[in-house]
Amino acid sequence: MLRARMVLVAAALLLAAGVAAIVDGAARVAREREVIAALEPALREEESYLRETHAPEDDLGLVLYYLAMPVAHEPNEWTALSTGLRDVHPYSRHLRFIGLVPQLYKTDIANPLKQLSGSFDYGFVLIFLVPLFIIGVSYDVRSRDDDLGTEPLVCSQPTRLSRVLALRLALRAGLVSAVALALLAFAVAWLGLPLDARAGAFALASLAYIALWFVLVFLVASLRRSSAWNAISLVGVWIAWCVLLPALVNLAIITASPARGGVELTLAQRQEMNAGWDRPKRATLDPFFARRPEWAQTPVPEDRFSWPWYYAMHEMGDAHVARQVEDYHAALARREQWTARAALALPPLALELVLDRMAGTDMATELAFRDSMVAYHEQLKQYFYPLVFNHKGLAAFGIDDVPRHRFDGGPRPLHLSGLAGLLGVLALLGATIPLAVRRIDATPWLEEASASREASARPAAHRGPSSEPCTLLTRDRKARET
Closest CA to 262 of 328, 314, 319, 326: 328
Q: Which of 443, 388, 431 is nearest to 67 (CA)?
A: 388
Q: Calculate the average pLDDT of the chain.
A: 85
The pLDDT, as a whole number, for residue 115 is: 52
pLDDT per residue as tens digits for the range 320-370: 999 999 999 999 999 999 999 999 999 999 999 999 999 888 888 989 999
pLDDT in tens, 92-119: 889 999 999 998 887 544 455 555 556 7
- Look at residue 131 and tell me whether its pLDDT is greater than 80: yes
pLDDT at 21: 95
Amino acid at 395: A
Closest CA to 282 of 295, 301, 269: 301
Reply yes or no on whether the pLDDT at 7 is more than 70: yes
Give the model's pLDDT for residue 413.
Answer: 73
Q: Report the b/e string of 411-450 with b at 16+ CB within 10 A.
A: bbebbebbbebbbbbbeebeeeeeebbeebeebebeeebe
Confidence of residue 239 (pLDDT cuts 50, 70, 90): very high
Average pLDDT on 463-473 reads 41
β-partners of residue 393 are 59
Q: How is residue 393 annotated by DSSP?
A: B
Q: What is the share, in percent, of the chain residues with pLDDT greater than 70?
A: 87
In this predicted structure, which of 89-103, 146-160, 177-191, 415-429 has the lowest mean pLDDT?
146-160
* pLDDT per position as a tens digit, 414-464: 778 888 889 999 999 999 999 988 888 775 544 544 554 455 555 544 444
Higher pLDDT, 409 or 257: 257
Banded model confidence at residue 259, pLDDT cuts 50, 70, 90: confident
Min mean pLDDT across 48-57, 102-111, 226-235, 382-391 is at 102-111
pLDDT tier for residue 290 given thresholds of 50, 70 and 90: very high
310/404 Cα distance (integer angstroms): 24
Q: Specify the DSSP class assigned to residue 404.
A: -
**Mean pLDDT within 153-171:** 81
* pLDDT tier at 134, thresholds 50, 70, 90: very high
Range in 210-214, 318-322, 467-471 the model is least confident about: 467-471
Lowest-pLDDT choice from 149-158, 281-290, 458-467? 458-467
CA distance 306 to 62: 10
CA distance 471 to 464: 16
- Which has the closest alpha carbon to 310: 68, 64, 106, 50? 64
What's the pLDDT score for residue 263? 84
In SS3 terms, 23-67 reads as: HHHHHHHHHHHHHHHCHHHHHHHHHHHHHHHCCCCCEHHHHHHHC
Q: Residue 157: pLDDT above 80?
A: no
d(CA 373, CA 153): 69
Query: Whose CA is closest to 424, among 176, 200, 209, 246?
Result: 209
Is 452 within 8 Å of 470 (Cβ atoms)? yes
pTM: 0.83
Contacts of 473 (CB under 8 A, 6+ apart): 152, 156, 449, 452, 453
- DSSP-derived 3-state class of residue 141: coil
Beta carbons of 75 and 91 less than 8 angstroms apart? yes
pLDDT of res. 482:
52
Give the C-alpha separation, 393 to 54, whole Å: 10
DSSP 244: I
